[in-house]
């Protein structure tokens, strides 16, 4: 099941309908003009109680809060819950770089993409800016530069990165995460399977709290 039919959700539906799996979609909005490109069964509003009984995997769009009651019901029913970035991570074999932080993510993502292109690399920006991550899986690339929000990172567990950075941390999205520690924990997931951490020496919160092979300070 794909949760949310914004641009990310539509990209997930597009990718999954090309795979040998049974796909449906769910959107929290009770009134929604379903995009013509979405040609799978769609549930709107609150799913019925038995909806999750035959579901294996729920892919959350970044705008869907994992603490939402329906998502918790899915978890209690034994459904695995991930996001599109985690699904990408399980299938991707192209070197990837990850950028997160409270401010400046897009600028740095586009700058790194530009630098790599100027050095003759076939590279694309994806994730929170540019191309949906799942769309990159069919491309012939030397590298992918990912802009990653805390909403995207909180549902990842196996994202492998050549290098990753938390640019900075300030109070943000606390209405979603609840408190600063949960927000920090989401950001720190960028370093779970990261070879090199790029760290701003001016803020301790940008340093990895899990082991990485190398740390570069700036």
- Cα separation, 93 vs 88, whole angstroms: 10
**pLDDT tens profile 181-195:** 999 999 999 999 999
pLDDT tens string 140-168 = 999 999 999 999 999 999 999 999 999 99
DSSP H or E run through 60: strand 57-60
Catalytic residue numbers?
105, 128, 173
pLDDT band for 27, please (50, 70, 90 cuts). very high
Alpha helices in the chain (DSSP H): 7-16, 69-76, 84-91, 105-118, 150-153, 174-177, 180-188
Question: Left (φ > 0), alpha (ψ -120 to 50) or beta: where does 112 sit?
Answer: alpha
pLDDT for 174: 66
| Distance from C-alpha of 189 to C-alpha of 197, rounded to nearest angstrom | 12
CA distance linking residue 190 with residue 127, whole number of Å: 13
């Amino acid at each position: 099941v794909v949760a949310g039919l914004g641009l990310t959700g539509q990209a997930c539906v597009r990718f999954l309908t090309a795979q040998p799996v049974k796909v449906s979609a769910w959107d929290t909005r009770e009134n929604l003009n379903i995009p013509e490109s979405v040609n799978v069964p769609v549930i709107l509003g609150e799913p019925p109680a038995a909806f999750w009984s035959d579901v294996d995997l729920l892919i959350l769009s970044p705008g869907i809060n994992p603490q939402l009651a329906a998502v918790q019901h899915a978890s209690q029913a034994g459904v695995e819950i991930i996001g599109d970035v985690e699904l990408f991570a399980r299938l991707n074999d192209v070197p990837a770089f990850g950028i997160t932080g409270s401010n400046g993510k897009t600028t740095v993502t586009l700058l790194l993409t530009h630098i790599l292109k100027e050095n003759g690399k076939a590279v694309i920006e994806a994730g929170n800016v540019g191309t949906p991550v799942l769309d990159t899986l069919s491309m012939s690339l030397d590298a992918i530069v990912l802009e990653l929000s805390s909403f995207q990172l909180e549902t990842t567990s196996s994202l492998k990165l050549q290098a990753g950075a938390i640019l900075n941390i300030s109070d943000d999205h606390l209405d979603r995460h609840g408190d600063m520690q949960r927000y920090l924990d989401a950001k720190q997931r960028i370093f779970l399977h990261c070879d090199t951490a790029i760290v701003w020496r001016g803020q301790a919160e940008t340093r990895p709290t899990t082991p990485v092979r190398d740390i570069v300070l700036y």
